[in-house]
Structure 1
Amino acid sequence: MIKASYKIEPIGIVRSELVNCEAAPHQGNEGAPDAWLEVNTTVAEALEGIKPGDEIIVITWFHKAHRNTLKLHPRGDKSMPLKGSFATRSPDRPNPIGLHRVTVLEITGNRLKVGPIEAVDGTPVIDIKPALPRTEDS
């Protein structure tokens, strides 16, 4: 395997009432609060075209995750058999990237209020993409 190094620069940060991983639900639809995304002013013009009511995918870097986790019990439930981290939604994985489908609730300058989102306060945002329309299978 070819070893390569890549650099990802955060484009913003999550500002949430969730202050630690233990308080965060496993998924956004499991009681996660709304939060603000503070987008760096250097890339704020890339928000043009996003409006309240839009569904977007927020891509985050789970900076508090364990990167050496290759197997785990899904949802931390020891009664469930071990699975490889790639077969789970756990933040603990070699590259701890989070995907969050959220609704834009409000836009104020370079800040987007979105929700629900299970990312803790201070989580780096590495990209934002429009969500594709849902299908009956999704």
Structure 2
Amino acid sequence: MKPVSQVFQVKPIGYVRNGRGFSKVSILPEYGEGLDGVETFTHIILLCWMHMARRDVLKVRPRPRPEIVCGVFATRSPSRPNPIGVYVCKLLKRTGLDLYISPIDAYDGTPILDIKPYIAGIDSIPDAGLGLFTK
């Protein structure tokens, strides 16, 4: 099967709000019902659109190993062709449409694409290797 060039359209379900010493996710009202039950989890996974990142980057120097130049797909760099950020956050509390989370380094106003519960038995791989980050 020949690959077909496609364009995908996504809409934010909310936005990151960062202040001094706190982070929260504010969900848009039309997606509020989707939060039901999220407060029963201790941690969540956020998928964000890193709107301030460059999209023309394919090679980077990873922060923990600046002596290495590697492909962007071997790193967690926000600068990449499709700048999707992934955060695992401690969920501190839910108040209506707001999720208060452990601080993250996203810009205030970063669009949220999706929220998923973090489930240790599924999301944690104890013997996962560190790849390029192994010294």
Interval containing the TM-score (normalised by the shorter chain): 0.7 to 0.9
Distance in 2 (alpha carbons) for counterparts of 1:63 and 1:17: 19
Q: Secondary structure at the match of 1:51?
A: helix
- Counterpart of 1:47 in structure 2 is 35
Alignment of 1:1-138 (within 5 A): 1-17=3-19, 33-51=21-39, 54-75=42-63, 79-133=66-120, 134-137=124-127
Q: How many residues align?
A: 123
Letter of the structure 1 residue corresponding to residue 55 of structure 2? R
The DSSP-based 3-state class of the residue aligned with 2:87 is strand
Name stretches of at least 5 consecutive residues in structure 1 with no aligned partner: 19-32
Q: By percentage of residues, which structure has more helix?
A: 2
Identity percentage of aligned residues: 38
Residue by residue, what CA displacement relative to the aligned partner does 1:36-91 show, whole Å, maximum 9, x if unpaired? 100000001100011165211011000000000000111296x5121100001100
Q: For 1:123 and 1:131, locate their aligned partners in 2 and report how far apart those are by CA, in whole Å.
A: 20
Once the two structures are superposed, residues 14-34 of structure 1 have per-residue CA deviations (whole angstroms, 9 ceiling, x without a partner) of 00037xxxxxxxxxxxxxx53
Native 8 Å contact 2:41 2:118 kept in 1: no
Structure 1 length as normaliser, TM-score? 0.81
The alignment's C-alpha RMSD in Å is: 1.9
Residue type at the aligned position of 2:5: K
Q: What is the identity, as a one-letter code, of the residue corresponding to 2:59? A: K
Between Structure 1 and Structure 2, whose CA radius of gyration is higher?
Answer: 2
